[in-house]
Amino acid sequence: MAAILVVEDEVDLCNLIRTKLEAEGHSVFQAFDGPAALRVVEVHRPHLVILDWMGWQSVANCGRII
């Protein structure tokens, strides 16, 4: 299955999303802020990034991920 990065600053919500995705057989990485997300992308190269809208910084981080 897919390797997925979930970027969400609310820990409970991030854990819920992770649980649901893992139940479907995906490998899930978590990051709770933009800098952590960039580190995960660099190391693990996920197939998909689910990015919480945390303001304009989220847009900047999308540009760095691509």
Range of the domain at 34: 3-65
Domain count, the chain: 1
- pTM for the whole thing? 0.85
The per-residue pLDDT for 24 is 98
Half-sphere exposure of 62 (CA within 13 A, CB side): 10
**CATH number of residue 15's parent domain:** 3.40.50.2300
pLDDT at 57: 65
pLDDT tens digits, residue range 2-56?
999 999 999 999 999 999 999 999 999 999 988 899 999 999 999 999 988 766 6
Distance separating alpha carbons of residues 37 and 49, to the nearest angstrom: 9
